[in-house]
Amino acid sequence: MQSNTGFLAEGFARFGHVGTLIILIFFAFILRKIDGFQKREGYSLTIGFFIYAMYTLIDRFLLDSFIMGPWMVLACILIFYTKVTKEDYISLFNCFKQKIFNGVSFLKNKISH
């Protein structure tokens, strides 16, 4: 529903004056998480992820956007996304290489006996 009132009116319409405060606290929590993501990943990636979702809050409700809107996907990104470094890839590759080498040597030993 696009009523051109935004998420603050949603809080008032659903819960009264207390709801406005609840929605503001919830929105502040979201902004805090976005700021943490920005510190981890950088400014341009954060803007790329969140510009559309922030733009839609002009005319949409925050709770509805969290349930079935763009914020649902972005909440999953905020929760589960971690930065993988080059060293992580190298250690993963070395682990797989060692397991493959152990498997090949095990098969050679089985065949030779």
Q: Compute the distance between CA of residue 110 and CA of residue 81 in angstroms, rounded to an integer.
A: 43
Cα 23 vs. chain centroid, distance in angstroms? 20
For range 75-84, the mean pLDDT: 72
DSSP 58: T
The least confident of 65-69, 76-80, 109-113 is 109-113
Residues 4-8: what's their mean pLDDT?
Answer: 72
What does the CA dihedral 42, 34, 56, 63 come to, rounded to 10 degrees? 160
pLDDT (0 to 100) of residue 90: 79
pTM (predicted TM-score): 0.57
For residue 104, pLDDT over 70 is answered with no
Helix (H, G, I), strand (E, B) or coil at 66: helix
